[in-house]
Structure formats: C-alpha cells, structure tokens
Amino acid sequence: MAAITSLPIARPVAIPLREILPWAVFGGLLLVLGIYFIGVEQGATALFNGTYVHEFVHDGRHLLGFPCH
C-alpha cells in the first residue's frame, strides 16, 4: 500500500509597515524626480543650463505622451 503524505503549507509572512515605509517613500521620490525630468525639464522651468537633460530624455517624453516641441 502507498502511504498518502501531505506537504506543509507555506504561510505568508507579514511585513511590518515600518519596514516598508522607507522604501515606499524612497520609491515615490524617485518616481517624482523621474516624472519631473521626463515631463517638465525643458525651457523656462529648467534646473540645468543647456538642453542636455532634455535631449537625454527626449525619446522617453514621446514614449510617455508628453508634448515636446
């Protein structure tokens, strides 16, 4: 006769909010910074002189649907 065995069920581990919150804030800041450089950094609102940043993210602007010219 064959014996029927069951495998232990893996239970998810709860991650405390205090461990997730710093990473969520960091990710949010990176997201806002990325949106700024891709969506706003050009012309009168530029933080940097020249068009280097604009040209670097130019294709990303068009890919995400931001007007450019």
DSSP-derived secondary structure for the chain: -PPP--PPPP-PPPPPHHHHHHHHHHHHHHHHHHHHHHHT-SGGG-SSSSSHHHHHTHHHHHHHT----
The verdict on residue 49 lying in a domain is yes
64 occurs within a structural domain = yes
pLDDT reading at 53 higher than 80: no
Whether 3 is in a domain gets the answer no
* Per-residue pLDDT band at 20 (split at 50, 70, 90): very high
pLDDT at 52: 77
Range of the domain at 52: 40-69
Into how many domains does the chain fold? 1
Q: Is the pTM of this model over 0.85?
A: no
Q: Is residue 35 part of a domain?
A: no
In a domain, 7, yes or no: no
In a domain, 52, yes or no: yes
Q: How far is CA 44 from the centre of its chain?
A: 26
4 falls within a domain:
no
